[in-house]
Amino acid sequence: MEFSNGTDNTGIVEQTRAMMRVDATQYPAYKIVNSVNNYLDTITGYAISADRNFQWDDTNHTKLPIGTTNLTASQSDYSFLTDEQGNNILNLTRIDILDPDGSYRQLEMIDQSNIKGALDAYSSTDGLPTQYDKIADNIIRLYPTPATSVTAGLKFYFQRTPSYFTASDTTKEPGVAPLLHRGFVIAAAYDGALALGLENLPRMENEQVKEEMKMKKYFEARNTDMNRRMTPFKQDNR
């Protein structure tokens, strides 16, 4: 579903206003943009948390969620705040390091709660990092601390914010499955009904609940190509 299509009134903007029974003066495009982007955040948050085995990303992004950064001697902490296009990085999913032979290999993720003794004493001799601790969603600490600087020494994989809309967008569609596009209309119409005190607010609220349930069901069942293992239940009759 296109963001705006004034020719046949099938865009998100036009359908939102039709559902609210208002015109562009009563409810300008920038307000619909705010609602659509808020709903994008809702979908992104749920998609990321629903299944860690499925690395969700907004399909409107033109580059893959993979980046590299230089490895700096004697520097153990690294932050990954934005990707090369300025999108905020929400979560790191994997860290690889460049070996002396020129090949990347995966670092082992550990947690400081599992390290016995003082952290400063753990793997304290500088060398080639083999592990990392995720201090925050987009900040890591390497163990051991790098002994040498390496260009593009770290390759990181991540999940990020979606591709947001602006009021000037027309043919751009939400970077999610088409089955979920109606949810953007409902979310924007609900916000508008709430802001303007429209009589159809209760109906919009009910429709919004339906769309969110449909969205959650979609993400819970999307990995249909992954074999699910059944664990037998053993009952103790003693």
Answer yes or no: do 72 and 145 share one domain: yes
How far apart are alpha carbons 152 and 111 in whole angstroms?
25
Between 205 and 225, the more confident residue is 205
Supply the pLDDT for residue 96: 98
Answer yes or no: do 125 and 74 share one domain: yes
Answer yes or no: do 155 and 189 share one domain: no
Confidence of residue 45 (pLDDT cuts 50, 70, 90): very high
pTM for the model stands at: 0.86
Answer yes or no: do 70 and 156 share one domain: yes
The string of pLDDT tens digits covering residues 166-222 is 999 999 999 999 999 999 999 999 999 999 999 999 999 999 999 999 999 999 876
How far apart are alpha carbons 25 and 75 in whole angstroms?
55
How far apart are alpha carbons 46 and 217 in whole angstroms?
11
Token digits for 193?
């009904």
pLDDT of 229 strictly over 50: no
Answer yes or no: do 45 and 120 share one domain: no
**Count of domains forming the chain:** 2
How far apart are alpha carbons 56 and 52 in whole angstroms?
9
Confidence of residue 43 (pLDDT cuts 50, 70, 90): very high
Domain span holding position 178: 12-56+165-220
